[in-house]
Structure 1
Amino acid sequence: MSALSQRREPASVRHSAKVIDGALAVLTAVIFVAVALAAGVRSPWDGPVPVIPLALFLGALLFVRRRWPMTVLLLSIAAIFAYHLPAPQSPPGWIWPIWAAYFTAAATPRVRWVAAIGVAQLVYSAVDFRWVIDRNMTHYLIHTVGEALLLAFIIGAGLLYAASLRWRDRLRETDGRVRAAEERLRVAQEVHDTVAHTLAVVGVHLNVAADTLEGVPAEAAAALRLAQDVRNRAMADLAALIDVLRTSPTGTAPQPDLASLGALVADARATGLDVTLDERGDPSAVPATCAVAVYRVVQEALSNTLKHSGATTAEVTVAYQPDSVSVEVVDNGHGTPGGAGIREGHGLAGMRERVSALGGTLTAGPVPGGFAVKACLPLADSSP
């Protein structure tokens, strides 16, 4: 089966292909009859092989050229031979009446066979047309060389068309791989943000429970209950994410919104970290993609504060402006254990990639008296 017919195309493309085949069929039949009449055929219905039935046969074959290209080519050549053989002085034309069949077959992997068949047909036509040599050598050369050049052009066009189809398929495959890689990255970011924050908060509560288990059992029990609540919410988020991935591969739920910032800060505050949240402006105009990015930046910044900085206070400021949203998380810690230089791990890298994808900027580093994470996201480039 032809490479052209093996591709699964949308319905609109298949409809366009049928329209093109119909147009080629009509064009082939009309031009063949017109040339025959212009060349001296008195009646298109007379002769051993009448012109009109032959023209209709050649046109009808083009409706199945995509499905059986070699069969259509061979039947078309046979029809041309049947037309020329009974009448040695029939109107010239061995290649051009079946150019569409040649083109279609040349776009298949059997192009070498197509070229061999074409050369054989040209040789035979040159011999068959030899009676013109004595009368008009120029006419003979124009006919023979012209049809040879036409065959070469048709086969070359078929090869170029097949190459363009292969290039389109490779481009489509590459685009699919890129989309899959982007999707994996988004999922990895969602899982990392959820798990990292949960482990940080739960870890703090477990440390509190371990320290107070013997002296203040009630406080230890409260810490364990908070850790369990945070864990349950994280499990629900992960379950929702997995469910969406199973049913809709393009989704990356759960998708937190700006209203969830309060719960995020409350979780961090429950660990003993003194966290304040200051929201300025109207958040109603913030698109969903930008809202998720804001939430994740705050979540990752607070997670790093809990895990690494040794901070006791943190300030979260979110400013909603007409054309952008700015986020700032400042704590009084030292950023990394022992005050070492910044090492950009998966969390910080994920924040930077998420913000950059929306056209924003992110900085993270020491400030006087602590450590700060700052991000600015434009609203115009973050619409879903």
Structure 2
Amino acid sequence: MTAMRERQRDNRWQLATDALLALALLVFGLLATPLAGANQPGSVPVDAGCRALLTVAALALVARRLAPLATLAVVTVATSAYLVLGYPYGPVLLAFLVAVYTAAVRLPVRRAGVAVGSALAVLLVHAFWSRGPEPGWFGILPASAWVVVPFALGVAVRVNRESAARGRAEAARRQADEERLRIAQEVHDVVGHGLAAISMQAEVALHLLGKRPEQAEIALTAISRTSREALDELRVTLGAVRRGGGREPVPGLARLDALRERLADAGLAVTLRVTGEPRELPGAVDLAAYRVVQEALTNVLRHAGVAEAEATVGYGGDALTVEVLDRGVGGGGGVGHGLAGMRERVTALGGELAAGPRPDGGFRVAARLPVEPVR
């Protein structure tokens, strides 16, 4: 509804500006044509018929954007009749110029070319049959200039507009693709971590169900809590996407303790260290750092085959660093979307990410994210 009202307002504005243009050309024509006739011996003096044709040619431009083809036809007939009747060259051709330019801008090039070519043929009638001076073959070139120049200018403007529109459409597609990728990454991180923890806890529950049912109950309780927390975080993420902004509350480093508890329930003990002076971080940096730690620890849970890992968060003067270490055999198993997603998050913020096996065994993931220097 809003878009429709905006289009209607634009149409009214265009109609008003075209009416002002037509009125200006009419006044100019009525005032300047007698002066032009004084310098053109042999031309028919200005009379009521001359003024009527000037009026028709000028006022037809009111509808030039609504009906460019019809406007060109009316202006061409009025202008050609004006010249055939022998009235002075001059302002009437300005209305013809505007009509040709409008057709070139508003109509497809092929259709505009046919229409403008027909208009030129009609206009050239006066070169060989007129009550005033007959320029003959010598009049073809100057008469053609009144068609070729505005037509070429109109086509150039149309091509530039179409190119700009394609550029805007391409930019919009890129933005949509980037947004879809961001959403996919958020969902992957939330769901992937939750499912990894649930899978590990479910295996523990199945293993203990027959022998130690009371321990299986603890694992099932952890599954319930982990799934509920993952669903809550997923709702927050999708809710922020629906709102198109205002992403609150988003996960951040303040939730690392809760992450550590969930992983402990799943069987992975995480030693968390913080170095430097903790401070408020930009939202994008805070989220990216949390996601890197979350994904790296999820990979340890899935692939490393160990019960312990270390996570370190370092607050530096101009950068935040995060590091996750394990001594397992496959902590880097997330070399697909997980590791690629971590790298994309970090590099998008101008940071660096390193991931690979440790010399003494295990796997290391480390990221450096630039932040405002401390003052």
TM-score (normalised: structure 1) = 0.82
Q: How many Å separate the matches in 1 of 2:72 and 2:129?
A: 20
Tell me if 1:366 matches 2:357. yes
Instruction: Look up the match of 2:177.
Output: 181
Instruction: Look up the match of 1:104.
Output: 102
Residues 26-175 of structure 1 correspond to what in structure 2 (within 5 A)? 26-40=23-37, 47-51=47-51, 55=54, 57-85=56-84, 87-91=85-89, 95-107=93-105, 108-109=107-108, 110-128=111-129, 132=133, 141=138, 143-175=139-171
> CA offset at residue 226 of structure 1?
0.8
Q: How many Å separate the matches in 2 of 1:8 and 1:125?
A: 46
Residues 237-276 of structure 1 correspond to what in structure 2 (within 5 A)? 237-245=233-241, 247-248=242-243, 255-276=250-271
Q: How many Å separate the matches in 2 of 1:28 and 1:306?
A: 79
Q: How many Å separate the matches in 2 of 1:170 and 1:69?
A: 24
Give the RMSD, CA atoms, in angstroms: 3.3
| Deviation string, structure 1 residues 183-236 (Cα, Å, up to 9, x no partner) | 211111111111111121112212222233233322221111011100111122
> CA offset at residue 89 of structure 1?
4.7
Taking a change above 3 Å as real, the CA distance of residues 187 and 30 of structure 1, as seen in their structure-2 partners, is same
Residues 234-383 of structure 1 correspond to what in structure 2 (within 5 A)? 234-245=230-241, 247-248=242-243, 255-335=250-330, 344-367=335-358, 368-379=360-371
| Deviation string, structure 1 residues 266-312 (Cα, Å, up to 9, x no partner) | 21122232212222345544111111111110110000000001123
For structure 1, the residue ranges without an aligned partner over 5 or more in a row are: 1-6
> CA offset at residue 119 of structure 1?
2.2
| Deviation string, structure 1 residues 1-43 (Cα, Å, up to 9, x no partner) | xxxxxx997799768756753563355234433441321369x
Q: Contact 2:253/2:286 (CA < 8 Å) preserved in 1? A: yes
Paired residues in the alignment total 361
Q: How many Å separate the matches in 2 of 1:325 and 1:19?
A: 58
Instruction: Look up the match of 2:207.
Output: 211
Q: How many Å separate the matches in 2 of 1:328 and 1:224?
A: 31
Instruction: Look up the match of 2:192.
Output: 196
Q: How many Å separate the matches in 2 of 1:278 and 1:37?
A: 92
Identity, in percent, stands at 34
Taking a change above 3 Å as real, the CA distance of residues 12 and 259 of structure 1, as seen in their structure-2 partners, is farther
Counterpart of 1:378 in structure 2: which amino acid? Answer: P
Larger mean CA deviation between 59-68 and 303-312 belongs to 59-68
Q: How many Å separate the matches in 1 of 2:221 and 2:48?
A: 98
> CA offset at residue 164 of structure 1?
2.0
> CA offset at residue 373 of structure 1?
0.4
Counterpart of 1:192 in structure 2: which amino acid? Answer: H
> CA offset at residue 264 of structure 1?
1.0
Taking a change above 3 Å as real, the CA distance of residues 19 and 376 of structure 1, as seen in their structure-2 partners, is farther
Q: How many Å separate the matches in 2 of 1:147 and 1:102?
A: 13
Q: How many Å separate the matches in 1 of 2:283 and 2:233?
A: 17
Secondary structure of the 1:299 match is: helix
| Deviation string, structure 1 residues 287-344 (Cα, Å, up to 9, x no partner) | 11111111110110000000001123211111223432111111121235xxxx8772
Instruction: Look up the match of 1:3.
Output: none
Taking a change above 3 Å as real, the CA distance of residues 323 and 56 of structure 1, as seen in their structure-2 partners, is farther
| Deviation string, structure 1 residues 231-265 (Cα, Å, up to 9, x no partner) | 111122233444444x4467878731222121112
Q: How many Å separate the matches in 2 of 1:69 and 1:116?
A: 15
| Deviation string, structure 1 residues 144-183 (Cα, Å, up to 9, x no partner) | 4122123111111222222222222222222222122112
Taking a change above 3 Å as real, the CA distance of residues 26 and 326 of structure 1, as seen in their structure-2 partners, is farther
Q: How many Å separate the matches in 1 of 2:336 and 2:165?
A: 37
Larger mean CA deviation between 143-152 and 220-229 belongs to 143-152
Secondary structure of the 2:255 match is: helix
Q: Contact 1:28/1:55 (CA < 8 Å) preserved in 2? A: no
TM-score (normalised: structure 2) = 0.83
Secondary structure of the 2:37 match is: coil
Secondary structure of the 1:362 match is: strand
Taking a change above 3 Å as real, the CA distance of residues 323 and 194 of structure 1, as seen in their structure-2 partners, is same
Taking a change above 3 Å as real, the CA distance of residues 364 and 12 of structure 1, as seen in their structure-2 partners, is farther
Q: How many Å separate the matches in 2 of 1:22 and 1:281?
A: 69
Q: Contact 2:29/2:92 (CA < 8 Å) preserved in 1? A: no
Larger mean CA deviation between 344-353 and 93-102 belongs to 93-102
